[in-house]
Structure 1
Amino acid sequence: MGTITIKKYQNTNEKLTKCYGKWYGKVLHRGTMGTDELANHIMKHGSVYTDDVVLGVTRKLMHCIAEQLAEGYKVKLDGIGTLYLGASSTGADSSEDFDISKNITRIGVKFLADQSKNSIYTARVMRQSNTLTTKIGLEGGYLVDGSASGNGGGNDTPNPGAVEEEP
């Protein structure tokens, strides 16, 4: 399927004593693909539809998802995941004191990846279907790497206080 590049970094947060000084990995993203680029990519996969048709359907899908979320529905894209709205709020001393305009601090879209056995987005399938590569550096414009097969252990990655290895 593809190659997932992992960048090594070291935990430098002394408050995380179990993790301090240890090295971890995180996915190195090559960039962000926008809707136009994705539509063009889909068209290149031998689709009978041109990129403008794919883009039109994609944009309609985006608008319809937003509409359904605003109506209070969760939107499940089979094999991909479920989009839904979540809210953050501050507490009120009583039900009568709760005021939406004061207590709701944020409303945002959340995403839960499909983890059914038929999904190609499960952690197991992503590991089995892709090659993992550790980014070590560049030599002559080519990535020098340490490749690994698609199987392996768990993840106890700390988030705060990390220093990345220079590529």
Structure 2
Amino acid sequence: MAEDDTTPANGATDAAAAATPPQIKQRILAQFVRDMSFENVMAQKGVDGEVKPEIKVEVNLDARKRGADNQYEIITKLKVTSTNAGSDKTLFLLELEYSGVFEIEGVPEQQMHPYLMIECPRMTFPFIRRIVSDVTRDGGFPPLNLEQIDFVAIYRQQLALRAAQQKKADA
């Protein structure tokens, strides 16, 4: 019987091992509301006529390195404005800053920024969605269930904005 040698003589296993990406380890150490404000303008000022709410959601992201090794804080900032269609009168305004503290290992340095700005907010988003739903419901409105946010698109918009600002500064 012939020997079964599955290792190629040309050293392909060494190259394959070198080409495999490092194992990414990520843990959420903490998550919390940094700041939140809800104004029920409709209750304060009243609304004339029929109410047809229109919702506008603005999202901003921020990432910060923390003092400990491999720890980062990601802040998702939401501004949710509901106006009455046709009159542009504000019904309510919700501002929320939600932080997640992550411990991340194994992400190459050149990929860390997109990882922090896309993957980390994606992980905290279900908690943000729940807070927005509860606050709007407790504020006297139907619960607002946010649609899934495309963090890749937000990241690309921020890169394009930064590039345009840099181009303008260089001109």
Q: What is the TM-score normalised by the length of structure 1?
A: 0.22
- Name the one with the larger helix percent: 2
The answer to which structure, 1 or 2, has the higher relative contact order (CA under 8 A, 6+ apart) is 1
